[in-house]
Structure 1
């Protein structure tokens, strides 16, 4: 394993009065693949630039292994970088591009030749050493960029939206290729993306950023199934939100009122949020489309509504139901398609039922970051 621990301690970065990164602490283990995920302007690229040394933090520290690199120039950090636009030298062959970082480190020719050969085999481009970048496809150029970034065996590899320029099918293929390569190398990878599917597919852990803050970090399944805020719930996957009235709190659940006739028993709010909510306040009820089903309107404990539209999406039917609740919101319901499941028609009156433990509850919208 070539990877080392990457530790960020209370990093802050300001540009005049604008705070780009605010008090971010994060420890990434040796050989771990961590994606930094967030919308545009969330601070993820600035965070990556500070790790690379392109930006100097206003406060905080960065260490790789036992070495503090906060004040070091980029070329002294021994970090590999892969960019969205690949940044290959167009006048150099594939082999010469890969050799460049080794030449800068003063390695002998025989060792460079051996490293080039091994790197090309690793990215499955063994016969492409003498080709030029313009003679390669986008996916092949990306593999060369990865080979160049890893040929000198850096302890940390940074990847900034590296697949953003590829089409969907090639992007999905390259996700698997990069994951396979990372596991073989044992490199510590920090991968910046705004694509949630990409982050969930490739990562050991995902760090979600919003407005310069690290709002939640965890394994992909944890973020998807147990989001800690409405922002994370909304940003990771699809989520329905309904404003409901908070009625009471019990030991293991709370009661909310959906409308005049329907009350629901749902999970409790977090401790900090419970302190801000009293009976009669509005809270946000959240549930994912695949955790809902369409049932007969007469069924008990269901949310009544009318089908507004329906979209065929291959393996399932996405049904939009305008429900009887505050503001008459539209809920997305993901209905699996099978020979025994009838298609739901526009204009039908239906019931919407939730599976056990499907709901999440968050503080009122006005208090969310």
Structure 2
């Protein structure tokens, strides 16, 4: 195994000339190197990229690198961008697509810990509850695998993987509504509706739906963030409608036939985002109507027109795949997502920072591990119990 080869590949990586095959080779080589050797190579590449044009002092460069290298589990971090983007430009190129490892060496003795008492781990259990048509609340995990709960003529089954499935057994004389609520601090939960449509609910999300669809419509109501894979109706003519409801904004309606799409509509978000991955979606809001195509995202808020953009759909649904993923999102946005995932309260000691973050962090990371990455943008935190204070 050649250290020279690793160095050459890192040079290509930092100059954006590294092919996919070369990146794969680099990752393989990195895994085979002893930590002290790998540390020397990474530092050499870091110092090589850290040219005066980036306006980053040797001290700042070392602090950022030390923060990164204190990590045990591999994390892919692309870069953190300040309003003064030059302040972290050196961090950007080196970290694109690289797994970061824990090395020998101890943290600085002057580094103040984020958590004053204890860290907060990522959720490891489902805390979802089902509110039945009679108002009874049933913890989803309290239903043993394959155990049945009857709602009219519909069986409610929990599969071994935790997914809730509604299986209609006959006609319903009346519409019975159930609500699946996935609270903050809970793992993503999923449900298969009576028509075969599947829905994944992020933390802090609720979905209200009939136990069995009937007539000429399929309609549900969602608040929070959910990913839908809508089953085509038997005659391909019965639309599937999602009423998006928050206390902060007027409701809106998304209408589809068979399609895959993501809705993000939390009460603490300034806007609603509907992102289409497959099929076709009609978005109606405040007397506006707009049809989007795969790859497009409709964004809207009260009193504003619907805007259409083309974000990375992989980033939009990364939460479903176990990742925090961002492209130039504000630190405030990242912290709102973290607040729901870790079930914490976020307060600001001063102004809300204008920093942005681009990168991927596993949602299995502890809260402190996530905050250590964000601190590379020179935003600092103090965690006391479940209260996170942003210090600058």
Report the TM range for the smaller structure's normalisation: under 0.3
Larger radius of gyration: 1
TM-score, structure 2 as length reference: 0.25
